[in-house]
Structure 1
Amino acid sequence: MGNWQLEIAKMTIYMTFPVGMFYYFNQTSLFENWVIKTKRELFPPENQELRKKFEESFRISREKHAVSFDEET
């Protein structure tokens, strides 16, 4: 068995390791670039040309649905 110095060293490691990990992983500067890059991949800036194409296809789809609905009634 170890003496009291070994026990103090182990206790110090057990207490400082979680605090150190908490400090490291809560530094925004470490993850800021990654978060911004991922956010831009998931939600790209809006392109007006693509937006107009989407609205046009949505309008056509609604018109087709309205026509088929009118034919049923």
Structure 2
Amino acid sequence: MLTCRDVTELATDYMEGHLSPGARLRVRLHLFLCSMCRAYIDQLQKTRRLLRGLPLSTPPADLEARLIETAVALPPDRPG
């Protein structure tokens, strides 16, 4: 029997159909028995649908240069 941790690790492959038939059946059995994991998978599916509906945007052309400039300007980490 899969644990909840197993199901969370397999969730993406499960939703994308990348599991073997046996693994998929084990996940489905766990989901049948576990309301928390069903809620987790449901939330992941809703999030994926919402993200797919967002328009794609192109970052500004100078974004990479600005990020590098900002990172170089940061003070070095000091040991705690």
Computing the radius of gyration over CA atoms, which structure comes out larger, 1 or 2?
A: 1
> Larger relative contact order (C-alpha < 8 A, sep ≥ 6)?
2
TM-score by length of 1: 0.30
TM-score by length of 2: 0.28
